[in-house]
Structure 1
């Protein structure tokens, strides 16, 4: 499925998740504008990032047609949809700074509000170190915080329950027979997010309701990690809601 009208879409963040979305969207025919805090600094890096991804300059050269801008420039260029791949700890501050550029647009947020290095009475050891703490959790969510901070933006929490490489290629797991979720206050915004998921290849998208349900989506991060550890690191998997 391709987008013959070459709709402009923004992806904020240059990590592995942001790269997965940018590459998939470009392949679908979208005009992709990637946002980063400092484009020159991003392009100047010559070493892999903390997750082992190759330098962005090298990745960008392998994906012609994708434009690298500041967060604000990328968001302003988008026709309707901005995808948030900024790390959870910095999302609210970074997005608030570019609120004007996103006013009236749909922000699909998949950030997890992880707090790394937090003191915990009962830490959860993993092969990559202690599992980070979710903050906020239970009584609030990052999705809600973003919506409160950007009232003129239509926030949809989605993508967050899955590795982003699988979000953009769902049929690589079980032929695509698993479930993705959307949450938010604006029905049309959730429809736009669902249409994008359909373009990615999803056939089962469950609307959970208002943005308050982002709490459950973000808290799923722990369950996702537990399943991943049980199956073996790097094993792709999906979750299906059977009804």
Structure 2
């Protein structure tokens, strides 16, 4: 399958590498490929320069967001939440009729808030939108001809693509969206990653719950001293 991964951060790299390992035709999208390849310093999360990573994964191509989306059947969105709607709207024509799996969280970094939440790496970002809307829904409204699925968002992407690294894989992943066939595409992809417990939450409105869970996930991770973990829905 031809798959585009939009975003060159750690999450995008995890998906691109795993998808290529599984035999998919993978193109990574970025705003400016030349600028991305020109960087010589680690990114804000400490990931090595993208040029170095790409050299270690010769089967993966780097292109603009539009070029990557145009070449793909399925798109995985890892563009940061603050910029996702704007960036995706700009390539609406290339996304029309396709499945877009969104794992972005609508974080606003360094928020000016009355009661900040201190964390080991600074003030906890604010969620915007929150409660009465979600980034997943905003993307779907901006892209009415695209089949948006919210998934992958409830844990780190490095363990989304390798679920057996936690508890032997005995934990739960969620999907939500308006199109049943699109959710099946996401479900099949998760199964290829190794997931066995995938819970369909229903319509895209459920993206609100997945996105708001990000703060609870962080709180648990702080309590575990930074260890990776998953959640299990016990029926």
TM-score (norm 1): 0.96
Q: Deviations over 1:91-115 (max 9, x none)?
A: 0000000010010100000000001
Task: Write out aligned runs for 1:49-88 (5 A).
Answer: 49-79=43-73, 81-88=74-81
Q: Deviations over 1:118-155 (max 9, x none)?
A: 21121111110110100000000000000000000000
Does residue 95 of structure 2 align to residue 114 of structure 1?
no
Question: 1:109-148 alignment to 2 at 5 Å?
Answer: 109-148=102-141
Distance 1:47 1:117 in 2: 22
Equivalent in 85, 89, 95 of residue 96 of structure 1: 89
CA distance in 2, matches of 1:179, 1:35: 28
Match of 1:183 in 2: 176
SS at match of 2:202: coil
Unaligned runs of 5+ in 2: none
Whole-Å Cα distance in 1 between the matches of residues 35 and 114 of structure 2?
38
> Which runs of 4 or more aligned residues in structure 1 lie more than 6 Å from their structure 2 counterparts after TM superposition?
none
Map Cα deviations across residues 1-42 of structure 1 (whole Å, 9 max, x no partner): xxxxxx110000000000000000000000100000000000
Partners of 2:18 and 2:148 in 1: how far apart?
A: 21
Structure 1, unmatched stretches of 5+, are 1-6
Is 1:239 the equivalent of 2:234? Answer: no
Q: How far off is 1:236 after superposition?
A: 1.2
Counterpart of 1:173 (choices 161, 166, 169) is 166
Counterpart CA distance in 1 for 2:58 and 2:25 is 11
> Deviations for 1:166-213, whole angstroms, at most 9, x for unmatched residues?
000000000000000000000000000000000000000000000001
Cα distance in 1, alignment partners of residues 142 and 165 from structure 2 = 36
RMSD: 0.5
Which of 38, 41, 48 is 2:35 aligned to?
A: 41
Structure 1 residue aligned with 2:148:
155
Secondary structure of residue in 1 paired with 2:145: coil
The whole-number CA distance in structure 1 between the counterparts of 2:175 and 2:72 is 20
- Once the two structures are overlaid, the 10-residue window that deviates more, 113-122 or 189-198, is 113-122
Aligned length: 235
Aligned to 2:202: 209
Q: How many angstroms apart in 2 are the aligned matches of 1:121 and 1:242?
A: 37
In 1, distance between residues paired with 2:232 and 2:14?
A: 22
TM-score (norm 2): 0.99
Helix, strand or coil: the match of 1:160?
Answer: coil
CA distance in 2, matches of 1:51, 1:119: 22
